[in-house]
Amino acid sequence: MPESAPSLCTILDPLESLIYWRNAARSGAALGAGLALLVALACCSVVSVLAYVSLLALSAAVAFRLYKNVLQAVQKTNDGHPFKWLLEAEVSVSAERAQALAAAATAHLNAALYELRRLFLVEDLVDSLKFGVLLWCLTYVGACFNGITLIILGWIALFTLPKAYEMNKAQVDANLELARAKINEITAKVRAAVPLGRRAEGDKDK
């Protein structure tokens, strides 16, 4: 699939520019609008939020259209439809872009399914134990936060962590390397102490 990569990169470029704050005004607007929507969803139902947001957008569009019509009548000008540039803009999704998105989504889905099968069926005992510890920690996270709260925190992290990492890449990479080395050391000791783990590795080599 050599032709998919350029299309996928083109698709992800706008998202990358947003989360890395290449344009502060656009990134701030996206962060604020997303937070407002998520907070509204935390307080009201999805149907209510969609209805109110759509009604607000429609009311603003109608008011602006009437204002421009009155202004054109007073000034005796003929500027045309105020949203002409939006009406003429291309909003359809090309077949190439849809195929690139579908291919990327399918690849990630297949990888996730294979990994989950490997973990739940205990192909490697140590990896499954680490997965179990992660699930156990998630039970405490779920007890402290509900789903929408986690989504709000994730939205804020999406607009803060990548930029913070970019600004402190050297220090973060050094600390991550130390943590990775420590985890690998502990994992190696556990594998050496668990016969089943050694047998699973031997089966893989065969």
Average pLDDT over residues 65-92: 84
Least confident of 10-14, 79-83, 161-165: 10-14
Q: Is 176 left (phi over 0), alpha (psi -120 to 50) or beta?
A: alpha
Q: Quick one: tokens of 187?
A: 């994992």
Q: What's the chain's average pLDDT?
A: 84
- 73 pLDDT above the threshold of 60: yes
The percent of residues in the chain predicted with pLDDT above 90, rounded, is 31
Q: Label each residue of 117-180 as H, E or C.
A: HHHHCCCCHHHHHHHHHHHHHHHHHHHHCCHHHHHHHHHHHHHHHHHHHHHCHHHHHHHHHHHH
pLDDT tens string 4-26: 444 455 556 778 888 888 888 98
CB neighbours of 139 closer than 8 A, spacing ≥ 6? none
The pTM (predicted TM-score) of the whole model is 0.66
pLDDT tens string 112-158: 999 999 999 998 888 898 899 999 999 998 888 888 899 999 999 99
Per DSSP, the three-state class of 5 is: helix
